[in-house]
Amino acid sequence: MVRFYPKRGESRYGAILVTNFSYFQKVIRIMKEPCWLLDFATNTFSQTGEDGIIAKALELLPDRNRWGVEFGAWDGQFLSNVRRLVEQDNYSAVMIEADPVKFKDLVANYAANPRVKPLNRFVGFTDADSLDTLLSPLGVPKDLDFLSIDIDGNDFQVWQAVKTYRPKLVCIEFNPTIPTEVDYVQPSDPRVCQGSSLKAMCRLAKEKGYELISVITFNAFFVDTRYFPLFEIADNRPETLRRDLSHITWFFSGYDGSVHLAGSLMLPWHRLYLDSRRFQVLPPGLRDYPGNYRRIQRRILRLFRKFLLWRAGKKTEDRQ
């Protein structure tokens, strides 16, 4: 029993009595900072700290078989999330790259390593090109330690299509320009490169029996639900674990109908800045609070609404 006595002059109700010290320790343990894995973020070959987070997460997992899979793998070295595991932790790996030029470099870089299996295939979400289909003849254990998905597009659909294999730890790319509270999934089309939101990835992970454990700039880490208690994260909501919001541009309107942008103000992959003047919907003469409108402004607004509806309908007809 531990008693904390009040100071002189304090009420006796200021005393704290702890009758179960082991329980007190457990409470403190549960209150571990949710983003603690970010303390281990380091790059050996990765881009934004993935190597260190992967190493720490795998360290906590039992029954590791030292197998990893990565796609798109590029040349197997540039910003790779598996290279450190192969070169420093003696992992076996399947590295998948669809681009023939990059794949040629991938083969050359690992020609002397029999534990690395390069594969020149496009990973999709049909029975013919799913990850399940591609891995089945390669001897990869169904419960491989680690899977890295980074294809700048249908990452969501590709992971959704994985049914046979159940990696313990998954690193998957999300679109960092999408606000955390937005659930967005890009069209299921290999020709589209938009990316899906973190919230959508978390929803899919829940459906597949995974829990979020860490978020960095471009990637989210999920672990099989069986192992989630090992990470002692009391609050793993994406709003809690996502710290880097630097790529988000917020769009909002004023009471007067003016449109404003805040945040990144950039199309990051094209290096183009966004100018709020190009996003204005109302002409200058109508940018005022409607309660302050004169009669002529109210009439013009009604006509302007009809014009916009007509134009939207016209565009729909043209597309059809």
Instruction: Please report the domains of the chain, with CATH numbers, ordered by start residue.
Output: 1-31 (no CATH), 33-241 (3.40.50.150), 248-280 (no CATH), 282-320 (no CATH)
Residue 265: what residue type?
L
What is the pTM for the complete model shown?
0.85
Q: Please, which residues bridge with residue 214 across strands?
A: 221
What Rg, from alpha-carbon coordinates, does the chain have? 26
Name which of 179, 131, 172 is nearest 152 in CA terms: 172
**pLDDT higher at 12 or 166:** 166
Q: Are 192 and 263 in contact (CB under 8 A)?
A: no
192, two tokens: 């589209």
- SS3 string, 110-171, reads CCCCCCEEEECCCCCCCCCCCHHHHHHHHCCCCCCCEEEECCCCCHHHHHHCCCCCCCCEEE
Kindly report, residue by residue over 91-120, the tens digit of the pLDDT: 999 999 988 999 999 999 999 999 999 999
Q: In sequence order, which ranges of the chain are alpha helices (DSSP H)?
A: 21-30, 50-60, 83-88, 100-109, 131-135, 155-160, 198-208, 238-241, 295-319
Average pLDDT over residues 211-224: 97
Tell me what pLDDT residue 320 has: 53
Mean pLDDT of all residues belonging to the chain = 89
- The CA-based angle 110-114-118, given to 5 degrees, is 50
Confidence bin at 31 (pLDDT 50/70/90): low
